Amino acid sequence: MKTIVKFFFLAAIMGLVLSCSKSDEIADENPGSTLKSAKTHTVTSPFDATFVGNYLPTSGVDPEMCGEYPMLRIYNEGEGTATHLGKFTHYFDFCVNDLTGEYPFDHMEAYFVAANGDSLFVYLSGQVVGGRLDHHPEDVNSYFTDDWFILGGTGRFEGATGSGVTDDYNRDSFPANSFHHWKGTITMVKGKRK
């Protein structure tokens, strides 16, 4: 009798353990098939990026994309480091008003590419202001402190969102003459994906 009680007790414990274990499979609507579940959640954490860029010589008047002068098309490329990206390269292609310094959303292609090839798509608009802020180096000729936004990405940045504020400026240095410091938050999708 004691053996039977021990057997049922052991069977009950095994049943509880197995019923509480997590399963990575869910049934599809087609009987007999299984799919990996997309058990995901989002995580929000600080985002901090520091990068340096070069204004490329192909920048200038581009009536097809930006319209007539005073609108100019600007290309800026460079590299830096950021949380969640590590070392990365950046590419900005946008329009700016040469007289007011405003760069609206009419056209903006901007993204960061991590060393493994994952891309993070970003957007910002605002205004370049002549002069410098007190904490900027002496040779700063203009600056922009505008809002930036994350618009998703590829790889581990798929579905990412986020925002923050720039502390960017242009210097008279060459070849690197645009300096960028972005702080904010990033929300990334974590967990298993199909």
The stretch 56-63 carries a mean pLDDT of 88
d(CA 166, CA 124): 9
Class of domain 40-191: mainly beta
Q: What is the mean pLDDT of the chain?
A: 84
| pLDDT score at 193 | 54
| pLDDT score at 192 | 59
d(CA 168, CA 145): 6
Query: Which of these, 96, 101, 79, 99, lies nearest to 88 by C-alpha position?
Result: 79
The stretch 59-86 carries a mean pLDDT of 94
d(CA 75, CA 93): 5
74-125: pLDDT as tens digits: 999 999 999 999 999 999 999 999 999 999 877 899 999 999 999 999 999 9
Query: Cis before residue 175, ω within 30 degrees of 0?
Result: yes
20-59: pLDDT as tens digits: 444 443 333 444 434 444 588 999 999 999 999 999 988 8
Residue ranges per structural domain of the chain: 40-191
